[in-house]
A and B are shown apart, each in its own frame.
Chain A
Amino acid sequence: MLQRWQQELAAGQEPMSDQAFYRLVRRHGRLAGEDEARSVTRQVFASLAAGLDERLVGRLVRCLPPTPAADLDHHRRLGPAAPDTGLDRELFIGPLVNAMDTVGRYDETLGGMDLVTAYLDDDAAMRTQAVFVAVKACCGAALVADLHEALPPEIADWFREARRS
């Protein structure tokens, strides 16, 4: 069943702007600003482009506001020709965690850096879902269903549960 905002969109509302898209990502991902929202979006798109069929990615590109669309299209060109069937949760969040703050201060014992990555699992999931909220806000119900169907199982769960608050 379509949610109210999806019905409004389907009824011919104005396409979403870049700012509105990143505002959604920022709010749901509890991010500091638009720059961070764009960075998070780019990383999630890198994984989407690797794990989804090129035509499906193309359909998604056409639904997105200009800047996110250009970023996803960029990753579509870099990604494999066929969806990578080995993509799982860890590989999906890899690019995102790679771009997060993962170390703290100098470690006091071994001369290395204190790592905080161990605690970032939930953060990565929340940020991924924040992008999914914005993506779903741009797509019609048919594309949402197709994306859900095509994503690896655990990522599909995150996608299904990503809801606008």
Chain B
Amino acid sequence: MGVERRAKKGEANGLTVRAFHSPVRPTWCPGCGDFGILSALKKAFVELERHPHEIMIVSGIGCGSKLPDYIHANGFMTIHGRPLAVATGIALANPDLELLVVNGDGDAYGIGGNHFLHTCRRNIKLTHIVENNQIYALTKGQYSPTSDQGFQTTTSPDGAPEQPINPTHVAFAAGATFIARTFAGDPNHMVATFVAGMRHPGYALIDVLQPCVTFNKVNTYDWYRERLAYMDADDGYDPRDRVQAGEIVQEWGQRIPVGILYRNDEIPTYSERVPALKHGPPARIALPHLEVATFDELKGAFV
């Protein structure tokens, strides 16, 4: 079940965050929450002893979706809103990869909203990190699906008229099996949450509250810090209790719960339920009868 690890524990010894350093310098604004997410992600890989070649990061379009450029690992930058669809194909074809989707709130919950719902209910084995800054930042400041009602931007000069999406609530309703929220200003908490998400045997949504230092002057580092409620520190809270979780995932406003809000490790993944994959994923199936000429002919059909 879940991802098979090629690297044995001993082989990963000596792995450090340096292994994930990319020569490409981030073009994010100084102080952007995405820096913290990138740094925490590298540390999470080290903690899980995952080497760069074992990792695949799929992204969409947006500030946060530039992340695969800034980390030494396999990356796939797709079109706007489609990384979950592409990642689904990767998950089915090669479950040995540590598969992540990293995108912003607009890409994940707006343009890619349809894929988000269906990935939740299918329980595809991947970790979905959403850099939720409650604004479209790469296009320089328009309100997004998670912007609070009344939020003023260039496209909502009188304030955003509609109710925002609460992604943890939507994911819960759509059948996600791991739902967490963390904060880009709290690196240690991010690392622990990313590690837990990657260990989960199914789809893991991790909504990261990520201040946009340039265009969002409402949902700032201070704003979040004053509202965060760490559910991991609450002994009375059990994320496996669906009734408790059902209430917590809806909370937003004066109190914002962070930590693992809901989890159910018992639901089979999509791959485990698809009959066509019962003999294993394509990446593990040998092609003994494929002659070079046949291969060339096949290849020619696509050229």
What residues make up the interface of A, taking CB atoms closer than 8 Å to B?
A: 43, 46, 50, 78-80, 82, 84-88, 90-91, 93-99, 102-103, 106-107, 110-115, 117-118, 120-121, 124
Contact = CB atoms under 8 A, between A and B. Distances in A.
Given A46-B225, A112-B139, A113-B215, A90 B32 contact: yes
A103 B186 CA distance: 26
B30 A120 contact: yes
A110 B186 contact: no
A103 B213 CA distance: 10
B217 interface: yes
A115 B140 contact: yes
B30 A88 contact: no
Interface string B209-244: 001011101001110011000000000000000000
B202 interface: no
B154 A111 contact: yes
B279 to A, nearest CB: 43
Contacts of B35: 88, 90-91, 94
Contacts of B36: 86, 88, 90-91, 94
A117 B225 contact: no
Given A110-B139, A110-B140, A78 B29 contact: no
Interface in B175-200: 184-191
B282 interface: no
A86 B213 contact: no
B164 interface: no
Given A94-B36, A99-B217, A111-B154, 14 more contacts: A46-B221, A78-B225, A84-B187, A86-B190, A87-B187, A88-B36, A88-B39, A90-B31, A90-B32, A91-B31, A91-B36, A97-B30, A97-B214, A98-B211
Nearest to B34: A90
Ordered nearest first, which 4 A-B pairs have the shortest CB separation?
A86-B187, A112-B140, A97-B31, A90-B35
B221 A95 contact: yes
A117 B140 CA distance: 11
B29 A91 contact: no
Contacts of A114: 140
Q: Please classify how large the interface on chain B is, using the bins under 10, 10 to 19, 20 to 34, 35 or more.
A: 20 to 34
B47 to A, nearest CB: 12
A97 B154 contact: no
Interface of B: 29-33, 35-36, 39-40, 43, 139-142, 154-155, 184-191, 211, 213-215, 217, 220-222, 225-226
Contacts of B29: 97, 102, 115, 117-118, 120
Contacts of A86: 36, 39-40, 43, 187-188, 190-191
A2 B294 CA distance: 81
A49 to B, nearest CB: 9
A127 to B, nearest CB: 12
A91 B215 contact: no
A124 B213 CA distance: 12
B30 A112 contact: no
A25 to B, nearest CB: 18
14 contacts: A46-B221, A46-B222, A80-B186, A84-B187, A88-B39, A91-B185, A93-B31, A98-B31, A102-B213, A102-B215, A103-B214, A112-B154, A115-B214, A117-B213
A50 B154 contact: no
A94 B213 contact: yes
B141 A84 contact: no
B40 A90 contact: no
A106 B140 CA distance: 10
Nearest to A101: B217
B32 A107 contact: no
Nearest to B28: A90
A136 B220 CA distance: 28
Contact of B141 (A80, A85, A88, A103): A103
Contacts of B139: 110, 112
B185 A115 contact: no
A95 B222 contact: yes
Contacts of A99: 217, 220
Contacts of A107: 140
Residue with the highest number of chain A CB atoms closer than 10 Å, among B155, B186, B187, B213:
B213
B222 A113 contact: no
